[in-house]
């Protein structure tokens, strides 16, 4: 066994690897960029080595710096996590040349599966179902159009070396190919150093299913069930679960055996994942096709750990050290259900725009994954596990992936796991930047999600006009109205205690008028009796002015509510939605009809940058006439290109930015006549 492992990664996955290594009695080394000097994974490791500036290309992607850190610390093995150097054959070869073990698959397997064009050829030769498409070199946009016409729309354009949703565009017509092909090439070149693109048929009503593979260096290769990853946005996974509500035992066996055959064909060992696309339109479930093989640990590996009881990081380390797997295919079971949600730094209320900045406040629902020394932490505290690598006061940087944390829940049934997600998300507090917690909660409560009728188009189909919060029931609104009145009473009582020092102290009012979601509620607080619109409500809570999160006990069950004081009331967030509760004393409320509405300024003439980012391209100049929907500019943020289009027809009056400029959020790019 190794003595010291260097983690060639950062953030939550570095923390995750360190915890398992510590339980195994192995010393750890962290490497970090200037931006990560104070990050939790740096403090957790036994040793830490700085490797350069914040941009990954100058730090985490420089193999020579990683190897130098190994030599300086005496690390005899490297775990690459995922992303960065995890699937670079040159890195694995460089480690081997220095006598340092690579905690991952053999170089030939990385090479074979890392090229999506070549991997499809190998998969087909191994007897694996593949998606119809063109897997040769594509010369230019005109060639891409001809290929797409021959395959038949819709088609998917993908960067050959891509992954993580980057370098992918869906095209429904020739116009989409012409607009997207060059962008796919650029994203592939920027993210992976390879601008080759391939095109394949897009499967209608697709489900994204992946099979977890685990093999040792002695010829044993197993499949550890499947993960359902169909809920995606812009081809990036948002929700993952295991097992899949769609996969039958027969499908699981057929998929697993094909994936093992592919792994065996390339001499695979270590952990890996074979991604499949499954046609949801085929009720037999037989129409599944190979997409790609990821020769590394996956972001969503915790759900597999939760239902199998197998620590995948531990197994990777043991396999790299030459040990045999201590279990067989017959030993792989399915215990309960696990769901993982990715908490991202993005604002779903503003079109999921990336959000960077400082985490002013960060409080997960449970402590980060606490390993008890026997590996039982795989399911977390009471079935709730948080994998994170951030801290209050830290910064979510534009240089790296926008994921803040992973929330994993386990339960004996799918509904139990989903219910735990909703409750945990309610108790997950993040302040200082935008996040997608409300959106995740809305998905967990959505009737279509609960039914298991998932496809990769779920988000686009269920939120075609964007996300505006989960719908609230009348019971939730009534409960929030009562909570708002309680908070207002506590605030008034505190203020009057201070005022009472200067004279007679008045008791806070017991009757309140609460306007929430456009509905006004009459709330009366009289001792232990609470009534809303004349009906009694069983409510028990404790609150001290300044609390960010309160837990209320209602007759219908517990409810966690995030509290943000605002002028005239409170912003209350729970169950996937933020509600503005305006609170007035009942005797004052009738006077509000005399107040004038404030009209917001008209900004429709301006093209405003929706996020901090780099202006990659500007397609117009002063005097140009534009049509509604026409691309005006391209802004790159969080490694993704975002096309900004004209909302209406008009003429460009003034341009305020140029290609290559770094733009702040809400910066004015151009003005229309």
Apex 87 CA angle, 85 and 90, nearest 5: 70
276 with 353, same domain: the answer is yes
64 — alpha (psi -120 to 50), left (phi > 0) or beta? alpha
Say what the pLDDT of residue 531 is: 95
251 with 276, same domain: the answer is yes
Among 462, 497, 525, residue at a domain's last position: 462
Is residue 570 domain-resident? yes
Is residue 124 domain-resident? no
**Can 292 be counted among the known catalytic residues?**
yes
Structure tokens at 506: 């008045």
Say what the pLDDT of residue 498 is: 57
Structure tokens at 284: 């037999």
Taking the C-alpha atoms of residue 303 and residue 431, their distance in angstroms, rounded to an integer, is: 27
Is residue 468 domain-resident? no
491 with 526, same domain: the answer is yes
Taking the C-alpha atoms of residue 334 and residue 144, their distance in angstroms, rounded to an integer, is: 44
Which domain range does residue 649 map to?
A: 606-672
Is residue 652 domain-resident? yes
Among 429, 462, 495, residue at a domain's last position: 462
CATH of the domain at 253: 3.30.470.20
Task: Decide if 355 contacts 396 (C-beta within 8 A).
Answer: yes
Using a 10 angstrom Cβ sphere, with 0-12 exposed, 13-18 middle and 19 or more buried, the burial of residue 178 is: middle
Taking the C-alpha atoms of residue 305 and residue 380, their distance in angstroms, rounded to an integer, is: 11
497 with 545, same domain: the answer is yes
3-state secondary structure 99-115: CCEECCCCHHHHHHHHC
CATH of the domain at 568: 3.30.700.30
Structure tokens at 487: 């908070």
Is residue 467 domain-resident? no
- Among residues 475, 454, 463, 398, the alpha carbon closest in space to that of 436 is found at 463
Is residue 371 domain-resident? yes
508 DSSP assignment: P
Say what the pLDDT of residue 502 is: 47
CATH of the domain at 169: 3.30.1490.20
CATH of the domain at 25: 3.40.50.20
Considering 187, 210, 275, 292, which one is annotated as catalytic? 292
656 with 588, same domain: the answer is no
194 with 213, same domain: the answer is no
3-state secondary structure 511-538: EEEEEECCEEEEEEEECCEEEECCEECC
Number of domains in the chain: 5
14 with 147, same domain: the answer is no
431 with 389, same domain: the answer is yes
CATH of the domain at 628: 2.40.50.100
- List, in order, residues 6 or more apart from 106 with CB less than 8 Å away: 92, 267, 268, 269
260 with 384, same domain: the answer is yes
Say what the pLDDT of residue 133 is: 84
Apex 109 CA angle, 196 and 189, nearest 5: 20
Taking the C-alpha atoms of residue 398 and residue 358, their distance in angstroms, rounded to an integer, is: 11
111 — alpha (psi -120 to 50), left (phi > 0) or beta? alpha
Structure tokens at 441: 């909660």
Say what the pLDDT of residue 380 is: 85
Q: What is the dihedral of CA 388, 391, 392, 396, to 10 degrees?
A: -80
Is residue 51 domain-resident? yes
306 with 448, same domain: the answer is yes
Task: Decide if 251 contacts 279 (C-beta within 8 A).
Answer: no
Is residue 601 domain-resident? no
pTM score over 0.75: yes
Taking the C-alpha atoms of residue 38 and residue 391, their distance in angstroms, rounded to an integer, is: 9
Among 527, 561, 594, residue at a domain's last position: 594
Strands 662-663, 577-585: parallel, antiparallel or unpaired by DSSP? unpaired
Taking the C-alpha atoms of residue 214 and residue 298, their distance in angstroms, rounded to an integer, is: 12
Taking the C-alpha atoms of residue 83 and residue 296, their distance in angstroms, rounded to an integer, is: 9
pLDDT averages per 10-residue partition of the chain, 673 residues:
97 96 97 96 98 95 98 98 95 98 97 85 89 82 94 88 76 93 87 84 89 98 98 92 96 96 97 92 72 95 97 98 98 98 94 88 84 67 94 90 95 98 97 95 98 95 94 94 93 66 60 93 91 94 87 91 94 96 88 68 88 90 92 84 89 94 91 93
Say what the pLDDT of residue 590 is: 77
Query: In 309-454, which ranges are continuous DSSP H helix?
Result: 312-320, 414-426, 437-445, 447-451
Taking the C-alpha atoms of residue 625 and residue 321, their distance in angstroms, rounded to an integer, is: 65
300 with 348, same domain: the answer is yes
349 with 215, same domain: the answer is yes
Structure tokens at 5: 């492992």
């Amino acid at each position: 066994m190794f003595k010291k492992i260097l983690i060639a990664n950062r953030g939550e996955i570095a923390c995750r690897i360190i915890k398992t290594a510590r339980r195994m009695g192995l010393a750890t080394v962290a490497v970090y960029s200037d931006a990560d000097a104070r990050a939790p994974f740096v403090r957790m490791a036994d040793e830490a080595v700085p490797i350069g500036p914040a941009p990954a290309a100058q730090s985490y992607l420089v193999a020579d710096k990683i190897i130098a850190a190994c030599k300086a610390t005496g690390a005899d093995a490297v775990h690459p996590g995922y992303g960065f150097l995890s699937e670079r054959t040159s890195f694995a070869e460089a480690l081997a040349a220095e006598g340092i073990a690579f905690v991952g698959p053999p170089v030939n397997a990385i090479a074979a599966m890392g090229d999506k064009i070549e991997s499809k050829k190998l998969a087909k030769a191994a007897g694996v179902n593949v998606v119809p498409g063109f897997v040769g070199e594509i010369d230019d946009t005109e060639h891409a159009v001809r290929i797409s016409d021959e395959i038949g729309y819709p088609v998917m354009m993908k960067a050959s070396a891509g992954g993580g949703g980057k370098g992918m565009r869906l095209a429904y017509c020739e116009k989409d190919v012409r607009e997207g092909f060059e962008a796919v090439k650029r994203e592939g070149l920027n993210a992976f150093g390879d601008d080759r693109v391939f095109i394949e048929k897009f499967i209608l009503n697709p489900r994204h299913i992946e099979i977890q593979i685990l093999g040792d260096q002695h010829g044993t290769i197993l499949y550890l069930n499947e993960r359902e990853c169909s809920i995606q946005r812009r081809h990036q996974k948002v929700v993952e679960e295991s097992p899949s509500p769609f996969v039958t035992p027969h499908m699981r066996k057929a998929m697993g055996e094909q994936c093992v055959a592919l792994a065996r064909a390339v001499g695979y060992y270590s952990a890996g994942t074979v991604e499949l696309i499954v046609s949801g339109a085929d009720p037999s479930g037989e129409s599944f096709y190979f997409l790609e093989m990821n020769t590394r640990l996956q972001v969503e590996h915790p759900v597999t750990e939760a239902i199998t009881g197998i620590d995948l990081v531990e197994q990777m380390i043991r396999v790299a050290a030459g040990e045999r797997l201590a279990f067989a295919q017959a030993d792989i079971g399915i215990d309960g259900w696990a769901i993982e949600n990715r908490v991202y730094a993005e604002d779903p209320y503003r079109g999921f725009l990336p959000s960077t900045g400082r985490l002013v406040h960060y409080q997960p629902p449970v402590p980060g994954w606490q390993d008890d020394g026997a590996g039982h932490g795989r399911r977390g505290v009471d079935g709730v596990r948080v994998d994170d690598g951030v801290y209050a006061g830290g910064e979510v940087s534009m240089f790296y992936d926008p994921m803040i944390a992973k929330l994993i829940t386990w339960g004996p049934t799918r509904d139990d796991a989903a219910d735990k997600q909703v409750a945990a998300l309610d108790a997950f507090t993040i302040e200082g930047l935008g996040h997608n917690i409300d959106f995740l909660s809305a998905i967990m409560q959505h009737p279509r999600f609960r039914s298991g009728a998932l496809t990769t188009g779920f988000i686009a189909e269920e939120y075609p006009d964007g996300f505006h919060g989960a719908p609230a029931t009348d019971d939730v609104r009534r409960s929030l109205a009562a909570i708002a009145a309680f908070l207002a009473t506590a605030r008034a009582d505190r203020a009057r205690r201070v005022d009472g020092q200067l004279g007679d102290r008045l008791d806070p009012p017991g009757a309140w008028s609460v306007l929430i979601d456009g509905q006004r509620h009459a709330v009366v607080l009289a001792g232990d009796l609470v009534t809303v619109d004349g009906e009694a409500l069983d409510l028990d809570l404790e609150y001290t002015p300044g609390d960010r999160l309160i837990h209320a006990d209602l007759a219908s069950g517990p409810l966690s509510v995030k509290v943000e004081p605002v002028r005239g009331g409170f912003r209350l967030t729970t169950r996937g939605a933020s509600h503005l509760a305006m609170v007035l004393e009942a005797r004052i409320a009738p006077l509000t009809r005399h107040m004038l509405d404030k009209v917001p300024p008209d900004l429709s003439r301006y093209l405003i940058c929706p996020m901090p980012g780099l202006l990659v391209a500007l397609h117009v100049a002063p005097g140009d006439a534009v049509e509604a929907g026409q691309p005006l500019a391209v802004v790159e943020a969080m490694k993704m290109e975002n096309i900004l289009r004209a909302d209406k027809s008009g003429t460009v009056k003034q341009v305020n930015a140029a290609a290559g400029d770094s733009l702040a959020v809400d910066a004015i790019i151009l003005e229309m006549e």
